[in-house]
Amino acid sequence: MAAYGGIDLGGTKIQTVVVDDARTVLGSARRPTPTSGGPADVAEAIVAATDEAVRAAGMQTSALAGVGVGSPGTIEGGTVTSARNLPDWQGGFALAETLERALDTRVALGNDVQVATDAEFQLGAGRPYKSLLGVFWGTGVGGGLVLDGKPWLGRGSAGEISHVVVQLGGARCTCGRRGCMEAYAGRAAMEAHARKEVAKGKRTDLFKLMEQRERTRLTSGIWARALEHGDELAVRLIDRAIAALGAGVASVVNVLDVECVILGGGLGVRFGEEYAGRLAAAMQPHLFADFRPPDVHVAALGDFGGAIGATLLVEPARAPASAAAA
Ligand SMILES: [Zn+2]
């Protein structure tokens, strides 16, 4: 039996798993992504989280046949450039080489959103389909595509649904443009908006919950809790996010006519089926072929999807087991 390590490097957390050939999770670990320092500090946190997952699996890192990393930013060979959700990571950093030295195994890098989409396509909610759009609703809003059974990367930048314009001249986005879907629906944008509203005197329990839980950000769990309480500002911002997602995702579906939309990401997974239904309803008025909407499912691999997907960079799940075992 071969074992593989998978790492989902996110803006909020580093999720690691150790899996076997069948992608059964043998061990896992999760750490917050460092909010200060630089790429070397992030690499150190990745190594610590990997060690922890390996120990949880009752193994040693040297037993891993390889480690895959799903990373934000631009991936070229073993280098990650301009990962803007990570601390001080504008330039290039040789992440693969750094990790290979520390973990003593081979390391493959891929785009975080694309590996999570591939995981759902090969192993999760996307298995019955030949075309799908992955919508990863978290710190930002990531998108991944599978068309006619193959990942579609375009010239390297495909799937950037975050910056689909849902409001001309609208809210300022982290990308510097205006009216992008992410400027309404991204967790970071919603948090910034909530802070502004509080500064204007609006009342909300969001930041009280954040302090109680000793967090520095409004995590998906905090949003979920505030919604349960019927917190007025939280409800309004989430309604606004769903409306933006509905318009943006429907616009993409109008162009590509995919069979299925898979809702993942920290918020998507946390909110689950009810919100997959809300997304489908918010999309409906914007769909041109409204008589045949795509199926909308929650990501079946949940929080582990990105990390399990990263293991596919080392060895595809559909390859014959005999080829891998030799
Ligand atoms: Zn943008």
Q: Report, as an integer, the average pLDDT of 55-78.
A: 92
Mean pLDDT over 11-31 rounds to: 93
Ligand 1 mean position, distance from CA 4 (Å): 35
Report the predicted TM-score, pTM, of the whole model to 2 decimal places.
0.89
- Residue 292 CB partners (closer than 8 Å, separation 6+): none
Q: How far is the CA of 244 from the centre of ligand 1 (A)?
A: 13
- Rounded-to-integer distance, Cα 300 and Cα 318, Å: 18
Question: How large is the average pLDDT for residues 72-101?
Answer: 89
* Number of neighbouring beta carbons within 10 Å of residue 142: 27
Q: What residues pair up with 19 in beta bridges, in sequence order?
A: 4, 25
Give me the phi and psi of 56, to 5 degrees please. Answer: -60, -30
* CA 229–ligand 1 middle distance (angstroms): 31
Q: What number is the average pLDDT over the span 124-142?
A: 96
Question: Residues 5, 53: contact at Cβ < 8 Å?
Answer: yes
Residue ranges near ligand 1 (ion) with Cβ within 5 Å? 163, 173, 175, 177, 180
Q: How far is the CA of 162 from the centre of ligand 1 (A)?
A: 6
The pLDDT score that the predictor gives to residue 326 is: 35
In this prediction, residues 216-235 reach a mean pLDDT of 95
For residue 185, the CA-to-ligand 1 centroid distance in Å is 11
Q: What single letter denotes the amino acid at residue 265?
A: G
Distance 169 CA to ligand 1 centre (A): 12
Q: Does the pLDDT value for residue 320 go beyond 50?
A: no
Tokens matching residue 182: 């992410």
Where helices occur in 104-231 by DSSP H, the ranges are 112-123, 182-185, 187-199, 206-212, 220-228
